[in-house]
A and B are shown apart, each in its own frame.
Chain A
């Protein structure tokens, strides 16, 4: 049996060229039916005024199509994560929408998910009434990713129903940003993890020479010159040194058994570990580490940077090694 694909009609190919699509709304169908009826009445009766009305309606359909085409053609859009993205949680995303035309306004444009792609990831649509010629606008929305890991943001389309809402014209936004989706974080009591404290480490809130960056302070005699923060000295005109937060007095090493991405039990364990890690890191002076498959995967640490390291590890843990 031949596997050759049946060639699509030219009109459909033209309409779908460069990731575009055209859909007729219910109002559009109504308008088309009305236009055809008027056209039939005009041809039937030979009435000149009906010909004018028919022509105007046809021109509105054509003009509507042309305007929506130019609208999507000159719209540029980009989705950028505005904060950390956690699975199954609405997270903020910035949509940068610009008008590539230096002379004409961009009117009534939305950036939506491409609903032709079968994915559980969802991004709420954004809409703007006007982008000035050559200008750019930033819109804010939320994205909900279904799974943790490294994934592209949902495929977006620039869509418009401009000017009359008769047709929906869409064009794919070529550029998709790949993001690291952290596991879902649930609110868990921190005690769940504290039972496993090892009782080693330093007091919380104290500054130290190593650890998470804490802040700057005036240089005092006896300070190690290597701790002088030269850019700040240049800016402030007086000597200042870096301070680092010391590790906590207590420690917790979370345990995560070996598993594979996609396995519901493993996914639940990852979410639990991530939730506990985040909850524990909120506790002052508590250092958190992670042991995966009985081996220390993330050493003890505190602070926002350590939190990110932990979550990034948990985002991809269990994924099969890329084949060479």
Chain B
């Protein structure tokens, strides 16, 4: 491969890798990437003219100008700043690929690649980024070196150009080695800055959220249908670490509550704002849900010395049991936080100055919302996960429904007489509210769980999807089951609301955390039980509830990847000033009360000494590998180096005596000693037996090296 061909290929590879970092971060549309790839392929395989004609150049300039105008308009009018910017950069890439005759154009392509990588660093929090970045760095270093060589040819004229093309083509292994070394050095540099550069996070010019990604229906507006994809998607959306794992199964069955909706109309759930308003009360380190029988009471250890836990609820024996867990939630494009039901308190675990700007607030129906910048968020929650027993619920009878709960009876009698009749038939003779709930659930459990629910044709003639589910298909996924239960209970005069979230999590032994997957997305129902508060009921058959458990095609591999991703989030993405200080503390530097830095010199010296010894060993190993192993060879190499510096380098074809003769004939200093040295070296190195006098050779070498 010639140097020009290599440069072309490296340009394509580096720009592809750079685009991949953005693509994986979700900030580049696949359609844009595919279109740009098509044009780049065309540019790559077409015959490149020696020079772009003036008319073609004008055409490209007009095209770029139009693209700039379109991008500006798109950014200003549609607010798609990032998308418009990325698409414009792709236009520039295509333009450069069609006109890449000189080194300058390739350098511009490299600059465009660098811009894509910077964008990727901002939007891509996946483990793929460091991998792509490492490969990109090696390729880019090589591309820069090759481009530099060819630019020297352009600068110094045709003669040098030919020499560069000839010699460069034959020295590609050496060039690859050089680029790998430089890339390695750059990676170490990046790592050092990453580890020790203080995270200020001053936050100038930062405004609002940038990336928006809708993964599932956790917004305040959910339409029936659309869970099929989620149930087969094994992507991890959150990682959870309970404070105490004792007794917890590998398949955790907590209901991780997200959005809660109370208004149902024509197959669509929304939030009415007439429901239960639940602001948060600030306790040190924690935001506490005020109402609902939650208060400071039973000791649950919270950092900062605050004990937080549920107060006892009469008639609910396990009401004082609680769990505490830390959660890392991936950016879902929605502001809802997930916590095990029934949540008592929640607190952000800040990762620095920017995270300190995040705010949690309470919403309606005990929803938790967060105002935050893009990227994963880390928080802790304390929850009461135990549910009242059936007997305890039965004992509540038919609790009174006061006016405050009117929002949770919305839609009663409005869907159709058939639904009302069904609800009445199912709950006829129910001894308690719990009995009514269980009767309806028993009816629904006879239905079939299915993700393949066709778009209800009856919706076209105005029939509610829940009617279709109840009377025609009798098959659906959790949203249908939950909606049916909520609607039927409301028809029976029982206050209900629907909740969307995740059903439990899967223990990852490698990473020691519970992974919540997209396939665990679930819907269930909360029913009001008077003084016991809201109780969770799940009408979905067990098979459906756990349908997403086998979403991962290779579970062991998925688990390993989850563990890597978690470690990456924990130690790379979430690496912050606190962790830096911990690292410094580990190295022996501590900050006193007066903010002065005190250093434990003993430990620092020990650590530093260890690093020096390791570095020394690595260097020695490399040196030994590179340097000749025998003493006489080492001496010979030193003498060769000294004479090369004087302009008497040995030619590859010369033996030591021949080289010494040539040096002597050129009148170099010390040629008599050199001649002796060369003869002796030949004897020591290649002569028979081991009686050769190495010490004499050393003496001669010393004389030669001492000369100025």
Contact = CB atoms under 8 A, between A and B. Distances in A.
Interface of A: 27, 30, 34, 38, 41-60, 62-64, 67, 76, 78, 96, 98-103, 105, 107-108, 110, 124-130, 132, 134-136, 161-165
A44 B203 contact: yes
B190 A132 contact: no
Nearest to B649: A136
Given A43-B200, A45-B206, A129-B149, A67 B182 contact: yes
A66 to B, nearest CB: 8
Contacts of B175: 107
B20 to A, nearest CB: 15
A129 to B, nearest CB: 4
Interface in B123-177: 124-125, 129-130, 133, 137, 141, 144-145, 147-149, 151-153, 156-157, 160, 163-164, 167-168, 171, 174-175
A52 B182 contact: no
Interface stretch (B56-64, B66-74, B414-422, B640-648): B640-648
Nearest to B137: A56
A78 B352 CA distance: 58
A38 B205 CA distance: 14
Query: B118, B130, B205 — which one has the most chain A CB atoms within 10 A of its CB?
Result: B118
Interface residues of B, number: 79
Given A126-B160, A165-B151, A62 B647 contact: no
B8 to A, nearest CB: 18
Nearest to B575: A48
A163 B189 contact: no
Contact of A50 (B122, B576, B646): B122
A136 B644 CA distance: 8
A62 B638 CA distance: 29
- The prevalent SS among residues of A at the interface is mixed
Given A34-B114, A134-B649, A129 B626 contact: no
Nearest to B573: A48
Given A46-B201, A99-B649, A110 B185 contact: no
Contacts of A50: 118, 121-122
A102 B637 contact: yes
Interface string B102-118: 01000100010011011
A176 to B, nearest CB: 14
Interface string B267-290: 000000000000000000000000
A130 B171 contact: yes
Contact of B118 (A38, A48, A60): A38
B193 A58 contact: yes
Contact of A105 (B147, B174, B572, B574): B174
Nearest to A53: B121
A48 B175 CA distance: 31
Given A49-B121, A99-B644, A110-B152, A127 B190 contact: no
B611 to A, nearest CB: 18
Given A55-B197, A98-B649, A99-B649, A49 B182 contact: no
A48 B645 CA distance: 46
Contact of B168 (A64, A126, A129): A129
Contact of A63 (B153, B157, B186): B186
Given A46-B352, A48-B575, A129 B167 contact: yes
A41 B646 CA distance: 50
Interface in B179-207: 179, 182, 185-194, 197, 199-206
Interface string B619-659: 00000001100000000011011001111011110000000
19 contacts: A43-B201, A45-B122, A49-B124, A49-B129, A53-B118, A53-B133, A60-B141, A63-B189, A100-B644, A103-B626, A107-B171, A107-B175, A110-B156, A125-B156, A125-B160, A127-B153, A134-B649, A163-B148, A165-B152
A60 B111 contact: no
B199 A46 contact: yes
- The prevalent SS among residues of B at the interface is helix
Given A134-B649, A136-B644, A49 B144 contact: no
Query: A30, A50, A59, A124 — which one has the most chain B CB atoms within 10 A of its CB?
Result: A59
B354 interface: yes
**Interchain residue pairs A-B with the least CB separation, the first 8:** A59-B189, A55-B193, A46-B201, A136-B649, A56-B190, A129-B167, A55-B190, A165-B148
A48 B194 contact: yes
A129 B182 contact: no
B121 A47 contact: yes
A62 B185 CA distance: 9
B178 interface: yes
B152 A127 contact: yes
A126 B354 CA distance: 54
B111 A30 contact: yes
A76 B626 CA distance: 22
Contacts of A127: 152-153, 156, 160, 163-164
B275 to A, nearest CB: 38
B189 A107 contact: no
Contact of B144 (A47, A125, A130, A163): A163
B605 interface: no
Given A46-B353, A165-B107, A165-B147, 5 more contacts: A47-B122, A49-B121, A49-B122, A51-B194, A134-B644
A136 to B, nearest CB: 4
